[in-house]
Amino acid sequence: MAALDEPLKKILGGTTAKVLAEHLDLHTVGDLLHHYPRRYAERGELTRLADLPLDEHVTVVAQVADSRVLKFNGGRGQRLEVTLTDGSGRLRLVFFGKGIHKPHKDLLPGRRAMFAGKVSVFNRKLQLAHPEYELLDGDAEDGSEAVSAFAGQLLPIYPACQQMASWKIAKAVDAVLPSAQDAVDPLPEALREGRELVPLTEALLKVHRPASKADIADARDRLKWDEAFVLQVALARRRLAETQLPAVARTLATGGILDAFDAKLPFTLTDGQQKVSREIFDELATEHPMHRLLQGEVGSGKAQPLDALVLTPRGFRPMGEMTVGTEVVVPSGERAVVDGVFPQGEREVWRLVLSDGSTVECDDEHLWIVGTDDARERVLTTRELRGDLHGPDGRPRWSIAAATPVDLDDGGNRPLDPYRVGRALGGGERLPGAEADLDGATAGALRGRRVPHAYRNAPLKERLAVLQGLMDAGGERGAAGAAFRAAPAPLAGDLAWLVRSLGGHARQRPVGDGGYDVSVALPAAYGLFREAATDGAARPAGAEDFRRTIRAIEYVGRKPVQCISVRHPGHAYVTDHFTVTHNTMVALRAMLGVVDSGGQAAMLAPTEVLAQQHHRSITEMMGELAEGGMLGGAEKGTKVVLLTGSMGAAARRQALLDLVTGEAGIVVGTHALIEDKVQFHDLGLVVVDEQHRFGVEQRDALRGKGKQPPHLLVMTATPIPRTVAMTVFGDLETSVLDQLPAGRSPIATHVVPAKDKPHFLARAWERVREEVEAGHQGYVVCPRIGDEEEAPKGAKKPAGSKGAADKAGSPEDAEEKRPPLAVLDIAGQLTEGPLAGLRVAVLHGRMAPDDKDEVMRRFAAGELDVLVATTVIEVGVNVPNATAMVIMDADRFGVSQLHQLRGRVGRGSAPGLCLLVSEMPEASPARARLAAVAATLDGFELSRIDLEQRREGDVLGQAQSGVRSSLRMLAVIDDEEVIAAAREEATALVTADPELTGYPELRIALSALLDEEREQYLDKG
């Protein structure tokens, strides 16, 4: 009997062992015993041919319906066509040339057999070209062995390959199955009995040669537990080992950069941000390394257009004129200083229309302090207000309180009595002899029946006097206030402005001939009229009457925007109340906390575009705090440097010097950060953005640059199902920022079958043109840049690239052999063809950084219509005006990647459109994958689909670690209960016995399952 580590060559012979090793990665007896059947066919049961998956290697049990030999090429060639049936569908087999003789003799009508091959399409019919087969009926000359092996049993169908059919694998398994008795059982006896699991030896026998379906269920239950438990023990040991490593505790320091940064921000952190920040800072303060996974996006910053008005003590000034040090008025009437200005580029802008006709413009993330008749005030974004603007009765739900009236003074000359100015304007009279004493602007305003700026932006008493003069001259008293009739438009606007500046309510209503009636009311502290009432006095109103309801929110368009921070506990100014936050906010605060403690923080980004965006975003948010040691920098500041592979030599030298001396507290970079030349003064925190884009070795190289193991924060915006997090990131604690940008505009996704329906592709380009004509922009994404060599030297040709069988290959075979579509080729075709006349540019990873920056700047500024790019735009690119995306050869991308790419559109107010172009046939798995992406926008659901379709083969990062996955039976998506229970059992066992001294069988299984390379992988992960 062979031991489980015995090479298969000794048992099966060199030829069979070589095929199993090269094509199925099976090398030892134990490997083959753990190569489980994928499914089972019952004796006499015919597989439904109607459900065969296209483009997959399958094994079917079916009956021959007919068989015929056909000639082609003028009689010089011949082929055998065999039709199979099972009552649900038909499948054609085709054999060519000399290969037709044996199947022509064997596959007679009525014969039953197992067939194995790759399902393809020819002339719109399913077929297997040159399949292998094994006869199953007793009449067959060579079928007696098959009958004796399979009669009355469940037939195991193994994961197979073109070189080794399922029944040949079954015979190989028969040869090693007696060795199953030597299998070491890793599960502790108490656990096995408590979970009512069969012993391992019994499970292996039952999974390969079941007598019943109950045997299969017993075996699967047990084998899943083996995989889940041993893996969770490994992860639990890693978690425990991490707590034993030394690390520098990074405790929060008061009065440092973090406090100064928080004081600059015009907002209070969201509940989610506060909770996650507390978790991070608590762990940073411990003397063992933090290992935390942060999932989720937070959303973009809050901002207002540059032409929006901000109230200052001298009157309203445009947002674009705000600078650090500018004094503004806060809603309580106090003055405060602007201590941070945050340019945000161009954004989609919305207009709040209030009940008195006044409007305020802002972006979708802008925060408002709003209230209802029967509820306390709340803070809501414009987006949230848009989604819940009216109550069940159709009336406006939300209102905004009036600001406290304040004195203003623009420094202008006011030689005339303000009450006389108001009377003259109200009656349309001229002030005799007055213009000689006035400056030109004031005199011009009076002639045009406008309130001069000096009188608008005047102390409260003088503004009231102007208003009373206007009302005494042309106003009418009413029971609930007063009205000014038929005022010309400029005067109506000034009158309403004066009323609002005094905390009152004014509403303009057009009455024809360009005139407006203005209804007005003031708080009880002020009188609208000076003259005695003759026809009833206007009722003084209480302050509660001057809350303005939000009647509507209208889309304005794209505008340049920015936000400011105000040095005041309320972080608010007149008339808007808003905050600013970025995707990097939580991580940035963690980095600043580490810098305060004397350490350095490094953020690793997957692309130069994203690294540059993070660097720009961080420096803008920090302002002078990011200029430590520089002229004009804050005393408490630090340097924030960028390090990428294509930087100039001088800039690179300076960045390296700043890191090794400790001048730079924060560095943002790409893979360039992990090069040997890069040294840190005291690396305290590593932040890895979009972690799935990095291999574990790269992350480990950066972590190794600390004098002691640095703390690690891994961030991803890609949703990760709980089971995957427990399995793949089981040694990381997990935090979730679940405030996803759910209010983004919807994205419609459609599959474009370019080969079957070429007119669909033509329509796709028409849709791009329509979006551009509507003022929007679009992306075209290709898998390849386009100037590479056709094929690397030494590259293997596709299997079966020669011979007659290849001529009958399926369309998807040909499609796979075609090189992926390329940016440079497609861009040229589009500019000369369907997108001729549009402003098209390319963006890809081999462009110089300055060129990439310039293209992104022009696209963000609206100077380009269409960007033809590789996946360099997958993360971090934020252009809200981009509404259309066409992904060429979409079947070449994974589900999560398609979802990530699609997220680049629909980021503004206009709905997004994503078109997935594919030449794959409709019945192919690739098209099914695209249909799944088109069917849902739920990232967690798509991550499940992605994992199901990739199967469990790379759960532990096969591509990254270079070793075969240990998970053969366990499906991390479907087996959540097993994984969770195994994690709980493993944690308890490892806590009680970290070295597993009482579990020698478990130690053996652990060393076999997690060889040295995989242990290193987990150690780095």
CA distances from 943 to 106, 685, 720, 740 (A): 46, 29, 6, 16
Picking from 799, 956, 963, the residue whose alpha carbon sits closest to that of residue 27 is 963
Distance CA 131, CA 162 (A): 9
Tokens of 933: 């992406």
With the CA atoms of 777, 779, 780 and 784 taken in that order, what torsion angle do they form, in degrees rounded to the nearest 10?
Answer: 150
Ramachandran bin of 943, using left for φ above 0, alpha for ψ from -120 to 50, beta for the remaining angles = alpha
Q: What is the pLDDT of residue 630?
A: 58
Q: What is the pLDDT of residue 914?
A: 94
Q: What is the pLDDT of residue 191?
A: 93
Distance CA 528, CA 516 (A): 19
Q: What is the pLDDT of residue 626?
A: 84
Residue 575 sits at the vertex; the CA angle it makes with 571 and 580, to the nearest 5 degrees, is: 40
Distance CA 506, CA 492 (A): 10
* Sign of the four-CA dihedral 802, 803, 807, 812: negative
Distance CA 503, CA 524 (A): 10
The residues near 777 (Cβ < 8 Å, ≥ 6 apart) are 771, 859, 862, 864, 865, 866, 867, 879, 881, 882, 883, 884
* Sign of the four-CA dihedral 353, 359, 360, 363: positive
Distance CA 91, CA 82 (A): 8
Contacts of 676-683 with C-beta under 8 Å, sequence gap 24+, read 678/643, 678/705, 679/705, 680/600, 680/602, 680/705, 680/706, 681/600, 682/248, 682/598, 682/599, 682/600, 682/706, 682/707, 683/599, 683/600, 683/601, 683/602, 683/707, 683/710
404 secondary structure, DSSP code? P
Contact between 487 and 458 (Cβ < 8 Å): no
**pTM (two decimals):** 0.51
pLDDT along the chain (1021 residues), means of 10: 76 88 87 88 60 74 89 83 84 88 90 84 84 71 46 73 83 90 88 92 93 92 91 86 84 88 64 78 90 60 78 88 82 77 72 86 77 66 80 85 84 87 85 66 84 90 94 84 88 91 87 87 86 49 64 86 69 52 60 92 81 75 75 72 88 92 91 84 85 55 78 72 62 60 63 90 94 94 75 37 37 56 92 94 87 87 92 71 93 83 77 92 83 77 64 38 54 78 92 92 78 44 37
Ramachandran bin of 481, using left for φ above 0, alpha for ψ from -120 to 50, beta for the remaining angles = left
Segments in 5-94 forming alpha helices (H): 8-12, 14-24, 29-33
Contact between 93 and 131 (Cβ < 8 Å): yes
From the centroid of its chain, how far is CA 552? 31
The residues near 880 (Cβ < 8 Å, ≥ 6 apart) are 346, 347, 348, 558, 907, 908, 909
Contact between 79 and 67 (Cβ < 8 Å): no
Contact between 504 and 524 (Cβ < 8 Å): no
The residues near 657 (Cβ < 8 Å, ≥ 6 apart) are 663
CA distances from 266 to 216, 289, 298, 336 (A): 62, 32, 16, 12
